[in-house]
Amino acid sequence: MMSETVPRPAPHTRRRMSDESFITLLVAGVAVGLFLFASLMVPNFFQVQNMINLVTNNWAVISLGIGVTFLLVSGNFDLSVGGIVALSGVLSVWFAQAAGDGNPLSVGLGLPYPLALACALAGAMAIGALNALFVVRFGIPSIIVTLGTMMVARGIAQVITHGSQRNTNLPPEFGYLGNLSMFGTSVKFAVVLMAVLLLVAVFIEKRMVFGRITYWIGTNPVAATLSGIDRGWHITKLYLFSSAIAGIVGILLASEFKSGYSNRGTLMEFDALVIALLGGVAIAGGFGSVIGMFFGAIILAVVTSAATGLVLSPDWQYILKAIAVFLAIVAQTWALARRNR
Amino acid sequence: MSDIQTSTHAQTGLLPKVGAFLRDYYIYFVLVAVVLLLSTANLDKFDLFERGNFLNKNNIINILRVSAPILVIAGAFTMLMISGYIDLSVGSAMSLSAVVYALLAINGVPFLLAFVLTVVVGIGLGAINGFLVVRLKITPVIATLITLSLYKGVALLLVEDGVSAIKSGGGLKMPGWFNGYGRSGIFLGLPAAFWVAIAVTIAFVVIQRRGVLGKHAAATGGNPTAAKLSGINTGRVVFLLYILVGVTAALAGIARSSFMSLGDPLSGDGMELTAILVVLLGGTAFSGGEGRVLRSFVGALIIMALTVGMLTLVPAYYQTLVIGAALLAAAASNHVITRKGRAE
Amino acid sequence: MQETPILDSDGAAPVLRVDSLTRDYPGVRAVDTVSFDIAPGTVHCLVGENGAGKSTLVKMLTGALEPTSGTMQVLGRDYAPANPQEARDGGLATLFQELHVVEELTVQENLTLGMEQSRFGFLVSSDLDRRVVETLKAIEPSIDPKARVSALSVAQKQIVEIARAASSGASIIIMDEPTAALSEREVERLFGVIRRLKASGVTVIYISHKLDEIFQLGDMVTVLRDGKHIATQPLSEVDGRSELIEMMIGRTVFQTYEPRTAVTDEVMLSAEGLSNRLLKDVSFAIRKGEIVGFYGLIGAGKTEIARAIFGADRVSGEIRFKGAPVAASPKKALAAGIALVPEERRTQGLFTSLSIRENIPVMNLRNMSEAGLYRSGLERDAADDYVRRLNIATSSIDKHTEKLSGGNQQKVVFAKCLFSEADLLLLDEPTRGVDVGAKTEIYDIIRDLADAGKAVAVFSSELEEVLGICDRVFLLFDGAVQEEITNGPDVDIAHILNVVTGGQGAVQ
């Protein structure tokens, strides 16, 4: 068809690893290296159970990290997830608590359990919708919007629980989901769900059009719009998606502890952001992966649990997080600059 | 987009003038409205303050006393946001300063020396932020999130295990002068901490109106290319502003620590949100360039009147919700009023 | 160093001397051994067609680009600025099309920005303040020095920038298309300002496509063509627009247009009365199999028409595509079968940090998705296919597009559009910044597309381009279609240039 151009042989696809795979591999390498190093330093660290615990103890933050990673890749923050965890947990308890008279904290709406969960999830997603409204419609920077909605979500939870918690008058099945063990082992349902969410997210990211659109938007929002992508609608979906995950996490935690506690999930939004950054997700957008975020979580878990093993006070975790993120950002910038020189 | 055409109409006529008037003065109306609302509300209900009107002298003194930390921070924070940057570590820097100040005092360092040393720590904390942002070119949000975590960790570590804060006990005793700075009235019944906040605010108003720094901060935030082309060292401007925010965070820490008679490593938690809130409420655009220190000061008064006043109307657990909603409302109205929020 | 400076008629040494200045781009010599002098206190105009080398020359003068060879002198001293700041220090200020004023500050604050006198960090009023205010009053008394710049019109902001340049002691001020965004009355005011500047001894280098302005304002004119210096002479010695146009186009032999047979009568797109803040009642029709050109200079409305059709900008009026109205969103336009190659390739067209392979499928997601699944195999095949068909020079389809040359980048943007299988292609400056070889290839692609039954609209500010490939050309000026011409061997180039530079009717 393009007759005049001299046909050249199809360029042989000498496939170089993409920058993204490179960074992911780097992060995974650091995670493994840190684990081995910690095993040398900390007695009893090198144990299968410990390795499993590194993942299972962090199921909540890793799950939240999925939505946060997708949003970061699209060029947006989501700091509201911690607040949503508290809100959906409190809502699920309040909706499920039996109705009637008595102590205000013991009286709920008395909805059937499944309906209570569905409504709690809807409440969580309403916060996601609020994020989308302010970011997409009003064009307000996502960092400010989600800081605000973080407080609104937690604030609603505090109002419902009068600043503490609700844990009475619950139907017997309320604690089932959060304490359910799967496959005859001690692996909790929540951990299995995290694994499923991770797999689905990786699948969406790598294999689905939805994932591709996220990268296009994050790389060049203007070109994405001029290429026929409905940017606003896609970001709306991402916020809904992230808030839904946070809602599920909140419901599961409430079920596990059989209580709706208004301070649950405090700082989880920061941890979710931290593991994404450790995993090589760029806040400028268009770069990063869910797998990277997962290994970022492992790095953070190794560092904090090794610190605990070294009998450092738990207060060290803040400093260690700060240093880890700082080193991660400096190292990734340096590695990419070297590689693409 | 490469559109170079912009509206060529000069802004004349009544409507823009009304708009400009609103933009400049709406914050004062909001303050008056909040005070009126709270003073007509029934205060007997919870009886947290002395019975009587919201405009009661003791009530006002109390509000202004607890407001000292945010009032002292608002000015520098406004200038930083005008230059187009942000500091999320300001709350942690405040906590750390509070702990350092209390530690010095409890170990027998005299007032003035403890005060000066804490301010020097504040300079250091600001300089670290400036270094990360200006020299290492780490995005401000991330750089100051890193230091938020770092300063908070150091503050927690300075306090012994098993104790929640630096306070009298275990053979050490807070000196008698310790809470005088934040509590004892020295003029009009208000403590030194409040008057320092006033002095700092006046200083920043003057710096903004008449100082080279104020002008260069506006230029850096308004049009960085033009600022650089005019020979302004924008990196140095930003570095200096981070240091000033660090200093005011230290002053806020001293005020809070003195008021509470202890060095609490969590006492500054959430201050970054309050600071952003009052600055946005004061009409400073998040895209930089635009804003007034004095309006942020009034914004801080509004927030403190609201939070303290609210305690007389609704239980304390409404506070987070109200602050969060106020932040969203301020961001939205700011967007409408300044028309600066660009849908990217 | 020159032995004896060439003196101008008044005997004054030149304020700026350009000597054998050359700048090469890969495959193109944009400026070719250009030498000329500019006398002090004059308005010196720089004219030439698009691609003649004006903007490259200006970039070298302002320090944005380094010359490949050759020298410049300002007031007899060697002048080799490494950046715009150094150019300004050397006494040469530039009024860019993008304004460099701080909207949030007052006029006076802007005028003294970076030059403040201070004591202990506080501003003190000084001679400088008086001087800048005086300079401003001298060139435009109506601007209040205390007013905030955000309250000024674009024209007034320009004047503030000019006053800043003048009060900072610049001896030369370059103005690049300063009237593009101004109304007629504002242009008059600007001209007054320029004349007063000249009277105070400042030299103005004035670049404009509007030839009338040049005759109205200029003392001297330098003509560039194809990167070469054609002439520098007093405007009083130029015999009207036609002579100037002749110098600009020379005996350039345009690539000969061959009438095409694939043009049909079937209207694919019709637009009726398009108007927005720039466009004025624009109407036209594009037929199947046809290549239609929209030719106009900067600010004439080309890009705006393209974006309006594509739904990227708001516009009133009616657009019908294949008989049905088009909804105003790029997504819907694309779904209907309209695709756009945008003006700015790097910021609007490409995903530069992604590979060629990842760039191509974005405009045809329907095809790329199978029940939501992404067809990576198809992506790979499509990339291989288009790299071959468009002859994109790359070692791999996995190469990041930011590492490709301009021509190859543009071909990737084309590939994106072609893959969308649109029936109407809107090409905004399709060969800007593209080397000659790639240009020819792109023209062949465009012809093949139209022959295959698509409709193509080319929005261009290069006359050679539109006359080389388009069957019909709409001439634009000031946001409106001035004339429609049918391409052919006897088209009157001088007439076209006259129309798009604001001339009335034919050249006598």
Residue ranges of domains in chain C: 16-248, 257-337+422-508, 344-415
Distance between CA A125 and CA B218 in Å, rounded? 39
CATH number of domain containing B141: 1.10.3470.10
What integer is the mean pLDDT of A80-100? 92
Contact C310 A224 (CB under 8 A): no
The DSSP letter of residue C402 is G
Q: How far is C179 from chain A (nearest CA, A)?
A: 28
Q: How confident is the model at residue B6 (pLDDT cuts 50, 70, 90)?
A: very low
pLDDT at position B5: 33
> Per-residue pLDDT tens for A331-341?
888 877 776 66
User: Searching chain C, which residue's CA lies closest to the CA of residue B285?
Assistant: C104
Residues written for chain A? 341
User: Looking at A13-22, B55-64, B271-280, C126-135, which range is the least confident one?
Assistant: A13-22
Closest CB from C104, C152, C277 relative to B290: C104
As a whole-number percent, the residues of chain B with pLDDT over 90 amount to: 41
Q: Is the domain C16-248 a CATH 3.90.1150.10 member?
A: no
For domain C257-337+422-508, give the fold: Rossmann fold (3.40.50)
Are the C-beta atoms of residues C391 and A5 closer than 8 Å to each other? yes
C415 touches chain B (CB under 8 A): no
Q: How confident is the model at residue A3 (pLDDT cuts 50, 70, 90)?
A: very low
Question: Does residue B181 sit within a domain?
Answer: yes
pLDDT at position B344: 29
Contact residues, chain B, for C98 at CB < 8 Å? 4
Q: How confident is the model at residue A4 (pLDDT cuts 50, 70, 90)?
A: very low
pLDDT at position A82: 95
Using the Cα atoms of residue C116, residue C117, residue C118 and residue C123 in order, give the sign of their dihedral: negative
pLDDT at position C404: 83
Per-residue HEC secondary structure of B164-222 comes to CCECCECCECCCCCCCHHHHCEEECCEEHHHHHHHHHHHHHHHHHHHEHHHHHHHHHHH
- What are chain A's domains? 19-339 (1.10.3470)
Question: Looking at chain C from residue 283 to 342, which residues have their Cβ under 8 Å from any Cβ of chain A?
Answer: 310, 312, 329-331, 333-335, 340, 342
pLDDT at position B53: 63
pLDDT at position C152: 85
Distance between CA A205 and CA A65 in Å, rounded? 14
Lookup result for tokens 């359990």: A113
Q: How confident is the model at residue A5 (pLDDT cuts 50, 70, 90)?
A: very low
What integer is the mean pLDDT of B267-290? 85
| Blockwise average pLDDT, block size 10, chain C, 508 residues | 44 83 81 90 87 84 88 88 82 82 88 81 80 82 86 84 83 86 79 88 88 88 89 87 80 68 87 89 92 87 92 90 88 92 89 90 86 85 90 86 85 91 92 77 90 92 86 91 88 84 58
Check whether B41 has a pLDDT greater than 70.
no
How far, CA to CA in Å, does A204 sit from each of A215, A283, C365, C381?
12, 20, 15, 21
CA C393 centroid distance within chain: 27
Contact C384 A224 (CB under 8 A): no
Distance between CA A197 and CA A192 in Å, rounded? 9
Question: Which residues are bridge partners to C229 per DSSP?
Answer: C224
User: Looking at A100-114, B2-16, B166-180, which range is the least confident one?
Assistant: B2-16
User: Searching chain C, which residue's CA lies closest to the CA of residue B16?
Assistant: C151
How far, CA to CA in Å, does C376 sit from each of A174, A317, A323, B172, B217?
44, 42, 39, 70, 49
Distance between CA C149 and CA C104 in Å, rounded? 7
List all chains that touch chain A, counting a touch as 3 or more CB pairs closer than 8 Å: B, C
> Residue B304 is encoded by which pair of tokens?
């403190």
B224 touches chain C (CB under 8 A): no
pLDDT at position A74: 95
Domain that holds residue B153: 55-269
Are the C-beta atoms of residues C417 and C362 closer than 8 Å to each other? no
- Helix (H) / strand (E) element for A96: namely helix A81-96
Cα of first residue to Cα of last residue in chain B, in angstroms, is 11
pLDDT at position C11: 54
Closest CB from B156, B325, B327 relative to A147: B327
Distance between CA B115 and CA B98 in Å, rounded? 10
Check whether A256 has a pLDDT greater than 50.
yes
User: How many domains does the structure of chain B reveal?
Assistant: 1
How many CB pairs below 8 A link A and B?
132
Closest CB from C100, C109, C183 relative to B225: C100
Q: What b/e readout covers C296-305, taking b as 16+ CB neighbours within 10 angstroms? A: bbbbbbbbbb
ipTM of the complex: 0.84
Contact residues, chain A, for B280 at CB < 8 Å? 144
> Per-residue pLDDT tens for A284-303?
888 889 999 999 999 999 98
Q: For an interface test with B, which of A133, A312, A315 has the most B Cβ atoms less than 10 Å from its Cβ? A: A315
Which among B59, B21, B71 has a CA at the least distance from the CA of B303? B71
Q: How many CB atoms lie within 10 A of CB B86?
A: 25
Q: How confident is the model at residue A108 (pLDDT cuts 50, 70, 90)?
A: confident
In this chain, the answer to whether the domains covering C16-248 and C257-337+422-508 adopt an identical fold is yes
How many CB pairs below 8 A link A and C?
121
* Mean pLDDT for chain B overall: 83
Q: How many CA atoms lie within 13 A of A123 on its CB side?
A: 28
- Helix (H) / strand (E) element for C388: namely helix C376-389
Distance between CA A189 and CA A195 in Å, rounded? 10
Could you tell me if residue C60 is left (phi over 0), alpha (psi between -120 and 50 degrees) or otherwise beta? alpha
What integer is the mean pLDDT of B269-286? 87
φ, ψ of residue A117 in degrees (nearest 5): -65, -45
pLDDT at position C254: 58
pLDDT at position A266: 86
How far, CA to CA in Å, does A147 sit from each of A143, A144, B143?
6, 5, 17
As a whole-number percent, the residues of chain A with pLDDT over 90 amount to: 49
User: Searching chain B, which residue's CA lies closest to the CA of residue A218?
Assistant: B344
A304 or A312: whose pLDDT is higher? A304
Are the C-beta atoms of residues A65 and A297 closer than 8 Å to each other? yes
pLDDT at position B100: 95
Q: How far is A230 from chain C (nearest CA, A)?
A: 7
Question: Does residue B101 sit within a domain?
Answer: yes
Question: Does residue B141 sit within a domain?
Answer: yes
* Mean pLDDT for chain A overall: 87
pLDDT at position C399: 86
Three-state DSSP class for C75?
Answer: coil
Q: How confident is the model at residue A158 (pLDDT cuts 50, 70, 90)?
A: very high
